[in-house]
Structures are given as C-alpha cells and as structure tokens.
C-alpha cells in the first residue's frame, strides 16, 4: 500500500477536499484542535498534517499538578466533526488531562462517523441542550439532556448523530493527546445490548440527571454518577450544589480535581479569592484544601476527580 504525507496550512479545508475526492478518514488527532489525519482510498494512504513531525502520543505522561482558572468568556476553536472546542486546561497538567467545553451552535445532524478513542478515562456531561448518540453493544440510539453524562470506556465504538441548537457539553479525558480512530466496518446501533460488558476493565455508564436524587455531600448536596464503580475506582464524577453554607474540600489523594460552574456564582477560595461564574472552570492541585463560599442560591458545578493512575 502506498503512503504519502501532505503538508497543509489548515487541516479543515484540506480534509474537506480529500473527503470530497472519495478519501475516508481512518485517524484524526487531537480532537480539540486537529492538526493531523490519516485517510485512505483505493489502497492509497495519505497522512495530512499542518504540523509535520508532530508526535502521536497516547501514553500516560507524568502528572504535573497546578492551579488553573479558565474563564467562560474565552474563545473557542474549531475541532473534530465541526464542533467548537474551548480548552479548559491549557497546560494539560503535563500532558495527562484534557478538558473541553464543546458546543454545536447550529444543531441538526452532526457530521460524525463511528469511531473510538484510545484513552484511559473519558466522560461527557451535557451542560445544556440535547444530543442523540449511539454506542456499541448499548442498544438503540438515545438522547442525552442537560444534567446527563456518559462514561466512555476505552475503545468503545460510538457516534454523535444530531443535536439541539446551542448544545453544550463538558468532556474530560486522559491522556490529553489521544488518537481518534474510525471504524468503517461497524454499523451502529449493532442490535446488541450488553450492559455488563467491560472495555479494558471499565463498563459503559449512562447517568440520567433527572432521575438521580440529591444526597448529602460534605456541607452541601450532590448527585452521584456511579462512575467510581464503572471505572474500577479510577474516577468519580458528581454534580454539587450548596445549601446555604460554605463547602470545604479536603486535600485529594489522587490526581485530577476539576470543577466546571454550571449555574450561579460563588467565591472559590484557593490561591486567593476567585469569583467564579457560569462556564468558568478550575483545577485544584490534589494536595491542597479549597472551598466554595458565598454561593448564590442556584449554584451548581460539575466535580471530577481521578485516582493516581501510575
């Protein structure tokens, strides 16, 4: 099979030209701001890149903790399948984690294909709107609404089908730079339902926020997702709200401590006093205490933590 490398200034327009000529995408990376894709047609393979020599790293890199505060007013960039990605952890914590605020402003059918990711951990939370998705061995396509989330185990095949106008989701993945592979042989749904199937020791999880009760959590309340059990202890994801009192968080014994403000305002006490508003996000070094103070009555935030993965 012949293989050539084509260097382009911008990946998106060049990718559209090759797809219009009948090439199919086999691999693309990274998802948030793609610079390289591998395409094939009639036995020929093309590696299209705007960054020649860029490595394809899918291994865990050393974790580098730091405090990160990202504002919702920061701009988004074009990502995979026409989605807009806003980078929530620019430093990647040493290449260990990536978090993205993903939007599809126009809604309708999504230009996606059956694909999978080589990841250690990946979850998607719907912040607003709805999206219809389908997953390998999980039955028919289903709709995720605001407050819902899924755990995407390593290499589970899936596809985004359509979305509402103004869809917003938050995605957290490890490692930060991981490849997305197309699976041209599998058709979804594949008419198989196997909720107990595991993928590299993890199982698919669909969490429906509207069906999940609020339970006591520290001095506030939370909706627990069940991701701790589904990942075998790798991660935990919950939605947190306050009940009129400050919420103090002790030092975390693992790695990632990530928060995304879904609604309301509060004061984040960590590395000084920080006012946080909707769509702001933060990362807390795991060894540090932090707290949420002076919260508005409607404050809710997504709270994601991971264990030590080495």
Say whether both 99 and 177 belong to one domain: yes
**pLDDT at residue 35, rounded to an integer:** 86
**pLDDT at residue 261, rounded to an integer:** 98
Say whether both 150 and 272 belong to one domain: no
Say whether both 222 and 123 belong to one domain: no
**Is 68 part of a structural domain of the chain?**
no
Say whether both 148 and 242 belong to one domain: no
**Is 67 part of a structural domain of the chain?**
no
**Is 24 part of a structural domain of the chain?**
yes
Q: How far is CA 88 from CA 60, 124, 136, 141, in A?
A: 19, 14, 28, 29
**Is 59 part of a structural domain of the chain?**
no
Say whether both 189 and 242 belong to one domain: no
Structural domain ending residue among the three candidates 209, 239, 260: 209
- The label of the residue with tokens 């899918």 reads 58
**Is 54 part of a structural domain of the chain?**
no
**Residues 2 and 43: beta-carbon distance below 8 Å:** yes
Say whether both 166 and 102 belong to one domain: yes
Number of domains in the chain: 3
- pLDDT tens, per residue, the chain with 310 residues: 567 889 999 888 998 899 899 998 888 887 767 888 888 988 889 999 998 877 665 567 899 999 999 999 877 666 555 678 899 999 999 999 999 999 988 889 988 889 999 999 999 999 999 999 999 999 999 999 999 999 999 999 999 999 999 999 999 999 998 888 999 999 999 977 787 899 999 999 999 999 999 999 999 999 999 999 999 999 999 999 999 899 999 999 999 999 999 999 999 999 999 999 999 999 999 999 999 999 999 999 999 999 998 7
Alpha-carbon span 99 to 4, nearest angstrom: 33
**pLDDT at residue 57, rounded to an integer:** 59
- Token pair of 230, please? 């589904």
Structural domain ending residue among the three candidates 184, 209, 234: 209
pTM metric for this prediction: 0.90
The domain of 39 spans 2-49
Between strands 2-7 and 44-49, the pairing is: parallel
Task: Provide DSSP, the chain.
Answer: -EEEEEE-S-HHHHHHHHHHTT-EEEEEE-SSS--EEEEEETTEEEEEESSTT-----SPPPP----EEE-TTSPPEE-GGG-EEEES-TTTTTTT-EEEEEEESS-EE----SEEE--SEEEEEEEESEEEEEETTB-S-EEEETT-EEE--TT--EEEEEE-TTEEEEEEEESSS--EEE-SS--SS-S-B-TT-EETTEE-EEE-GGG---EEETTEEEEE-SHHHHTTSSEEEEEEE-SSS-EEEPPPSSS-EEEEEEES-EEEESSSEEEE-TT-EEE--TTS-EEEES--TT-EEEEEEE----
Say whether both 187 and 286 belong to one domain: no
Say whether both 130 and 164 belong to one domain: yes
**pLDDT at residue 81, rounded to an integer:** 54
User: CATH no. for residue 33?
Assistant: 3.10.180.10
**Is 166 part of a structural domain of the chain?**
yes
**pLDDT at residue 77, rounded to an integer:** 67
Structural domain ending residue among the three candidates 156, 186, 209: 209
- Token pair of 158, please? 């899936």
Say whether both 140 and 179 belong to one domain: yes
- Token pair of 131, please? 């999206």
Say whether both 281 and 223 belong to one domain: yes
**pLDDT at residue 30, rounded to an integer:** 77
**Is 41 part of a structural domain of the chain?**
yes
Write out pLDDT tens, residues 212-235.
999 999 999 999 999 999 999 999
User: CATH no. for residue 259?
Assistant: 2.60.120.10
CA torsion, ordered 257, 174, 70, 131, to nearest 10 deg: -110
Say whether both 181 and 84 belong to one domain: yes
Say whether both 178 and 298 belong to one domain: no
**Is 63 part of a structural domain of the chain?**
no
């Amino acid at each position: 099979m012949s293989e050539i490398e084509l260097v382009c200034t911008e990946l998106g327009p060049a990718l559209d030209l090759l797809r219009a000529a009948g090439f199919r995408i086999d691999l693309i990376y990274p998802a948030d701001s793609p610079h390289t894709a591998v395409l094939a047609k009639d036995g020929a393979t093309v590696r299209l890149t705007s960054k020649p020599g860029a490595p394809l790293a899918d291994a865990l890199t050393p974790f580098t903790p730091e405090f990160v505060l990202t504002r919702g007013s920061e701009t988004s960039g074009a990502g995979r399948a026409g989605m807009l990605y806003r980078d929530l952890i620019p430093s990647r914590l040493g290449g260990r984690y990536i978090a993205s605020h993903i939007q599809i402003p126009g809604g309708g059918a999504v230009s996606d294909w059956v694909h999978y990711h080589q990841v250690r951990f990946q979850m998607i939370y719907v912040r607003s709107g709805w999206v219809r998705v389908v997953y390998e061995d999980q039955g028919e396509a289903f709709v995720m609404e605001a407050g819902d989330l899924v755990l995407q185990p390593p290499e589970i095949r899936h596809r985004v089908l359509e979305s509402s106008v103004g869809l917003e989701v938050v995605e957290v993945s490890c490692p930060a730079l991981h490849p997305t592979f197309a699976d041209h042989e599998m058709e979804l749904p594949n008419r198989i339902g196997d909720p107990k199937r595991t993928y590299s020791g993890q199982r698919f999880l669909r969490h429906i926020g509207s069906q999940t009760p609020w339970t006591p959590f520290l001095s506030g309340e939370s909706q627990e997702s069940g991701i701790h059990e589904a990942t075998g202890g790798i991660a935990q994801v919950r939605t947190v709200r306050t009940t009129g009192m400050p919420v103090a968080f002790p030092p975390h014994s693992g790695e990632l401590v990530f928060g995304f403000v879904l609604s309301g305002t509060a004061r984040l006490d960590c590395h000084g006093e920080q006012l946080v508003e909707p769509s702001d996000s933060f990362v807390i070094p795991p060894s540090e205490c932090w707290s949420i103070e002076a919260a508005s009555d409607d404050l809710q935030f997504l709270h994601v933590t991971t264990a030590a993965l080495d």
